[in-house]
Amino acid sequence: MKLRDLPPVDELVRKLADVEAPRSLIVSEARRVLARMRASKNPGDAECEIRENIQRLRESSLKQLINATGVILHTNLGRAPLAHFESVTGYSNLEYDLSTGKRGKRDSHIGGLLERLTGKPAIAVNNNAAAVLLALNELARGGEAIVSRGELIEIGDGFRIPDIMAASGARLREVGTTNRTHINDYRDAIHENTRLLMRVHPSNFRIEGFTSKPSLQELAALARERALPLYEDLGSGCITDLAPFGIAEPRLEESFAAGVNLISFSGDKLLGGPQAGILAGDAELVQRLRCNPLFRALRVDKLITRALETTLRHTLFEEWTAVPALRMIRITAGEIRERAERIRCRVPQFEIIPGESVAGGGSTPEQTLPTWLLALPGDAIAHERRLRAGDPPVIARIENDRLVLDLRTVFPEQEEELVLRLGVS
């Protein structure tokens, strides 16, 4: 077909009369498709493309899939898989106090749970970058925040601590070197414009070898001596002790015990909840954050409130199996081997080999969990494409030129679907 053979819009609309969609949408899509074909000088079957486009518009782009990568907090797959929660349809008491009949605060639904879990007053915003922005804007705007050079991290997708600090209105004061920072580096940098001492946990990388940095206790003592708040961005936010299961990350209670005044962390990493940024610490500081105008701009909505409330309640009552990320971390290699054997009985071409799972999500670098993998012989690239293109999509990984599936991140209730997607009834 040549460009001059493309049909006019009204002709296309007549041919699409059987499509169940508003006429205005069909006309708009016809114009869009024709304009694209003319601009690219690549005419095609406009009618077919319009039908396909409208059908895609009817379907949700965000869909459930099977994560067989073994990466528990997979950033591209939504990080922590959400615990089951029931959204409140219709109206709700999001900002209404049922006991008094007056306006309430939306963070009242999660504040009590967070305080019981962290031991401190706490609030939530829409992600941890927002939490850092809010903390720096309130506590160091117009002044300096002192940070070690070795902690000026990039937290993902090009967002860097210095950039967030600049946006907050605080000025960065770097101290020390990339690999070594001493307490006197902080002490010597403090002057009349210093507003804050900041510690950033490098949750997505490790520096080893000739390194040193002051302990939190030393920083806290210096902060008290100079009447400055000590703020720590913990990133992954480990509330429960996961060391027995192979994940060694600093916990909130350890930081508070050391004398940290304020901590921020992600809701969708090792907490296992929805995307959120949580700030917990001294009551006076948290109240200042709550009164900052940015808090309203960065606050979470009712769906996140409900999802986060559900995760926090499960954690408080130690219902670990109800929080998928925590359940996956706690699964033993032996349990995964048993599941792999069951699937191999139905898909005998698979081989079971030892492997490693990871927490992922920019947390716990170089820490792995032992697992067993289902390895499929043959063209790994072709297998990966076929599984990814199906319904539901199966996301696996290629290792040593073989497609491998790690059942650690596959929900037990998804096993039957996985077997069907592997081509076995």
pLDDT in tens, 96-136: 999 999 999 988 999 999 999 999 999 999 999 999 999 99
Please state at what angle helix 128-140 crosses helix 161-168, rounded to 10 degrees.
50
pLDDT at 318 over 80: yes
Among 108, 169, 396, 403, which Cα is nearest to 294's? 169
Strand partners, 269: none
pLDDT at 214 over 60: yes
Quote the pTM value.
0.89
- CA angle, corner 384, sides to 378 and 385, nearest 5? 115
Does residue 369 belong to any structural domain of this protein? Answer: yes
Does residue 87 belong to any structural domain of this protein? Answer: no
Length of the chain (residues): 425
pLDDT at 157 over 80: no
Residue linked to tokens 């060391």: 243
pLDDT number for residue 360:
84
**Gyration radius of the chain over CA positions:** 26
Q: What is the DSSP string of 268-290?
A: SSTT-SSS-EEEEE-HHHHHHHH
Gap between the Cα atoms of 187 and 228, Å rounded = 12
Strand locations in 152-200, DSSP E? 154-156, 159-160, 171-175, 194-200
Among 236, 266, 261, 268, which Cα is nearest to 251's? 236
Higher pLDDT, 63 or 209: 63
Whether 139 and 196 map to the same domain: the answer is yes
We report the CATH number of the domain holding residue 367 as 3.90.1150.110
Of 320, 348, 364, the position where a domain reaches its end is 320
Whether 182 and 283 map to the same domain: the answer is yes
Which of 147-151, 331-335, 411-415 is the least confident region?
Answer: 147-151
Helix (H, G, I), strand (E, B) or coil at 39: helix
Whether 143 and 265 map to the same domain: the answer is yes
Average pLDDT score over residue span 315-340: 96
- Banded model confidence at residue 236, pLDDT cuts 50, 70, 90: confident
Residue linked to tokens 């940070």: 147
pLDDT number for residue 156:
60
Average pLDDT score over residue span 285-297: 96
pLDDT at 364 over 70: no
- Banded model confidence at residue 1, pLDDT cuts 50, 70, 90: low
Higher pLDDT, 158 or 117: 117
Whether 152 and 273 map to the same domain: the answer is yes
Does residue 208 belong to any structural domain of this protein? Answer: yes
Does residue 102 belong to any structural domain of this protein? Answer: yes
pLDDT number for residue 209:
66
For β-strands 262-266 and 351-360, DSSP reports them as unpaired
Among 76, 73, 91, which Cα is nearest to 268's? 73
pLDDT number for residue 196:
95
pLDDT number for residue 125:
97
Mean pLDDT of all residues in the chain?
91
Does residue 85 belong to any structural domain of this protein? Answer: no
Average pLDDT score over residue span 299-322: 96
Tokens at residue 156, please?
A: 């993902």
- Cis-peptide into 392, omega within 30 deg: yes
pLDDT at 205 over 90: no
Whether 314 and 417 map to the same domain: the answer is no
Whether 217 and 247 map to the same domain: the answer is yes
Domain count, the chain: 3
Which of 109-118, 199-208, 213-222, 238-247 is the least confident region?
Answer: 199-208
Structural domain range at position 363: 66-78+325-421
- Banded model confidence at residue 425, pLDDT cuts 50, 70, 90: very low
Whether 310 and 341 map to the same domain: the answer is no
Whether 183 and 289 map to the same domain: the answer is yes
Gap between the Cα atoms of 288 and 270, Å rounded = 27
In the chain, what's the furthest Cα-to-Cα distance? Answer: 80
Whether 18 and 71 map to the same domain: the answer is no
Whether 223 and 135 map to the same domain: the answer is yes
Of 273, 294, 320, the position where a domain reaches its end is 320
Q: Are 134 and 295 in contact (CB under 8 A)?
A: yes
Among 44, 55, 120, which Cα is nearest to 287's? 120
Q: Are 254 and 244 in contact (CB under 8 A)?
A: no
Does residue 193 belong to any structural domain of this protein? Answer: yes
State percent of the chain over pLDDT 90.
75
Average pLDDT score over residue span 315-325: 95
Does residue 89 belong to any structural domain of this protein? Answer: no
Whether 121 and 49 map to the same domain: the answer is no
Whether 228 and 345 map to the same domain: the answer is no
Tokens at residue 257, please?
A: 């015990």
pLDDT at 188 over 70: yes
We report the CATH number of the domain holding residue 112 as 3.40.640.10
pLDDT number for residue 396:
96
Backbone dihedral region of 368: left (phi > 0), alpha (psi from -120 to 50 degrees) or beta?
beta
Of 286, 320, 354, the position where a domain reaches its end is 320
Higher pLDDT, 415 or 177: 415
pLDDT number for residue 153:
73
Does residue 221 belong to any structural domain of this protein? Answer: yes
Neighbouring C-beta atoms of residue 161, cutoff 10 Å: 21
Average pLDDT score over residue span 406-413: 96
- Consecutive H or E run containing 255: helix 252-258
